[in-house]
């Protein structure tokens, strides 16, 4: 049975996230995190999307993206980022198969309080995981 298409709205914020297949640390090394971030920026330039915030953890990532006039481009953008990442990581580590667990999740942030809560959650993620004492000390986040 085919998946239902997601409906994205123009000029709205979305919290997008996914984790490594089998909860594996597919973003464990600094160079892997940097590759993922580079792919985010390289691919977002081709769209009218805005990358508001992100946090790249060892086994998952969080993004906050604002759509533009063409909100359906989120799907193509995420496909480009995650497939490019999977190809390069699979080649680098001599592995095969999916890198991320299923398709990404995308929650609409309808209200300003939803956006602020999502930003706070992303900002606190490395602190809650015990990686740093202060969010600003984690190099793989932008908020």
| Total domains, the chain | 1
Residue 22 CA to residue 41 CA, distance in Å, equals: 27
pLDDT in tens, the chain (143 residues): 667 778 899 999 999 999 998 889 999 999 999 999 999 999 999 999 999 999 999 999 999 999 999 999 999 999 999 999 999 999 999 999 899 998 999 999 999 999 999 999 999 999 999 999 999 999 999 98
Specify the pLDDT at position 1: 63
Query: Where residue 62 sits, what CATH number does that domain have?
Result: 3.30.70.1290
Residue 9 CA to residue 20 CA, distance in Å, equals: 27
Q: Nearest Cα to 51, choosing from 124, 119, 125? A: 119
Beta-bridge mates of residue 101: none
Whether 3 maps to a domain, the answer reads no
Instruction: Give the residue numbers spanning the domain of 85.
Output: 13-142
Whether 6 maps to a domain, the answer reads no
Whether 1 maps to a domain, the answer reads no
| pTM for the predicted model, two decimal places | 0.94
Cα distances (angstroms) measured from residue 116 to each of 26, 69, 108, 121:
28, 23, 13, 9
């Amino acid at each position: 049975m085919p998946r239902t298409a997601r409906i994205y709205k123009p000029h709205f914020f979305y919290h997008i996230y996914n984790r490594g297949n089998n909860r594996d640390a597919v973003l464990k090394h600094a160079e892997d995190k940097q590759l993922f971030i580079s792919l985010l920026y390289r691919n977002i330039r081709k769209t009218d999307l805005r990358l508001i915030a992100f946090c790249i953890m060892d086994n998952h990532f969080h993004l906050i993206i604002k759509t533009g006039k063409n909100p359906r481009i989120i799907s193509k953008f995420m496909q480009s980022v995650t497939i490019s990442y999977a190809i390069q990581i699979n080649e680098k580590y001599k592995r095969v198969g999916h890198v991320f667990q299923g398709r990404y999740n995308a929650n609409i942030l309808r209200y300003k309080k939803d956006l602020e809560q999502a930003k706070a959650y992303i900002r606190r993620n490395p602190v809650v995981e015990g990686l740093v004492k202060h969010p600003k000390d984690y190099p793989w986040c932008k908020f």
